[in-house]
Amino acid sequence: MIFSYLKTKTTSLSKLLVTPQETLNFKKLSTMSNCIFCKIVNGSIPSSKLIETNHSLAFLDIAPLSPGHVLVIPKVHSEFLHEISDEALADILPVVKKIAIAIGSPNYNILQNNGRLAHQEVPHAHFHIIPKPDQKQGLGVKWPVIHPTKEEIEETFQKIRTKL
């Protein structure tokens, strides 16, 4: 029935179809409107802002692992690191460095997770600066090392290298 209706119209079916990029853009806009970090950027949710530039914002984490735990985010919504513009990335790392110096902790972690399986809780790219004042406070990390063969390492190397 819909197809017979479409045949009577001058609009072609191809004009009604949504491209994959348009679908991604719609999902991104939908995510942005619900994103807690986007709401912090636009001021609808308060935060303890430490540094704000044209491209990034640094503020205290409200669920810190230790005193001085800070988040640095791009102001433009990007769920993953690889979606952040090069211009914003060039701005973010100096902000992370300034925060790390200001925290004054000789031991700290810089953490950036991408995706749920990688423990990303908020779907907006962000960098944690987490002071490690002692064994109990701060980030605890387990590092489950795998033991690839030389052949597996070479295969992985070639897969990555060909895409660069």
Instruction: Report residue 97 as tokens.
Output: 């460095």
Active site residue 126: yes
DSSP for 35-84, written as a single string: -HHHHHHTTSS---EEEE-SSEEEEE-SS-SSTT-EEEEESS--SSGGGS
Using an 8 Å Cβ cutoff, are 124 and 28 in contact? Answer: no
Amino acid present at 59: F
> What values do phi and psi take at 17, rounded to 5?
-75, 150
Amino acid present at 86: D
DSSP label at residue 126? -
List 55, 77, 124, 126, catalytic entry: 126
Residue 35 backbone class (left: φ over 0; alpha: ψ -120 to 50; beta: rest)? beta
Query: Which of 94, 63, 92, 62 has the alpha carbon at shortest distance from 78?
Result: 92
Give catalytic residue positions: 126
